[in-house]
Amino acid sequence: MDKSVELILEYARELTKQNVVGKGDCISVKSGEYMYASDKEVALDALTEKDVLKIKLEEAEGEYALHAALYTQKEDVLAVCHCHPKWVKPIADCEVDIPAVTDDMTQIVGRNCKTSKNDIDSIVFNLAHRNSTLIKGDGCVTTGRTLNEAYTCVLVLDKAAHCFVASAVLKKNVLISDFEAILMNTIYKMKYSKKNQENLQNEEGNK
């Protein structure tokens, strides 16, 4: 079995295990001029080897055209997760941005996570300087230097969405300042995660 196919199947299982999946999920990894992607018509918990598609980037259509656009326009993006975690959905549906509500969000996501319109241009624009965005009516998209990083971002984003919803109900949001959020995100990317991601890139072999 191709290593990229194994990766897709492995993280389909992990996302399912963490209960951050929903209808229409699709995950992919870049491999040269191609990408390997899960069939979005098949639930991640039911995904098999035959449901992992190999698609040439320039020929991608529909859902896969979004992934291809991200791979083409962002050199550091080698993996994409388009998922539908339950806590993300109500925020995305209301077109609300998630501010910096947890330390791990500021480190991995950044000072906020914006909600995009459900079209490729809006999504690509909001991901220009971020690794995640909510999509109105369609969950969230996260990107990473590895599939592990994109997967981790989904988990962190769902946790942040949960905290944001809960704090809104309690009418008490405690936010991290923009300066602190930018600083924490920069330090994480440049110091703590860089070597780890390089090691994972070598393991995943999806450059």
Categorize the per-residue pLDDT at 199 as very low, low, confident or very high, splitting at 50, 70 and 90. low
pLDDT at 187: 38
> Rg of the chain over CA atoms, in angstroms?
16
Q: How many CA atoms lie within 13 A of 86 on its CB side?
A: 3
Share of the chain above pLDDT 90, in %: 57
Which of the listed CATH numbers 3.40.120.10, 3.40.225.10, 3.40.50.1000, 3.30.70.270 matches domain 3-204?
Answer: 3.40.225.10
pTM of the model: 0.81
74 backbone dihedrals φ, ψ, rounded to 5°: -130, 105
pLDDT mean over 97-119: 83
Residue 186 has pLDDT above 60, yes or no: no
- Please give the average per-residue pLDDT across 145-172, as a whole number: 80
Higher pLDDT, 93 or 143: 143
Q: What is the pLDDT of residues 1-16, one digit of tens each?
A: 789 999 999 999 999 9
Cα angle 42, 34, 6 (rounded to 5 degrees) comes to 50
pLDDT tops 50 at residue 170: no
**Residue boundaries of the structural domains of the chain:** 3-204
Instruction: Tell me the pLDDT tens digit for each residue of 50-61.
Output: 999 999 999 999
According to DSSP, the residues that pair with 113 across neighbouring strands are 98
Assigned token pair, 99: 């501010």
Confidence (pLDDT) at 182: 45
pLDDT at 103 (0 to 100): 73
- The tokens of 134 are what? 């909510």
Per-residue pLDDT of 39-93, as tens digits, reads 999 999 999 999 999 999 999 999 999 999 999 998 889 999 999 998 888 888 8
Q: What's the confidence (pLDDT) of residue 106? A: 77
142-147 average pLDDT score = 94
- State both tokens at 64: 């896969």
Q: Give the model's pLDDT for residue 168.
A: 52
Using 50, 70 and 90 to split pLDDT, how confident is the model at 20? very high
Contact 196, 134 (CB under 8 A): no
Structure tokens at 32: 């040269």
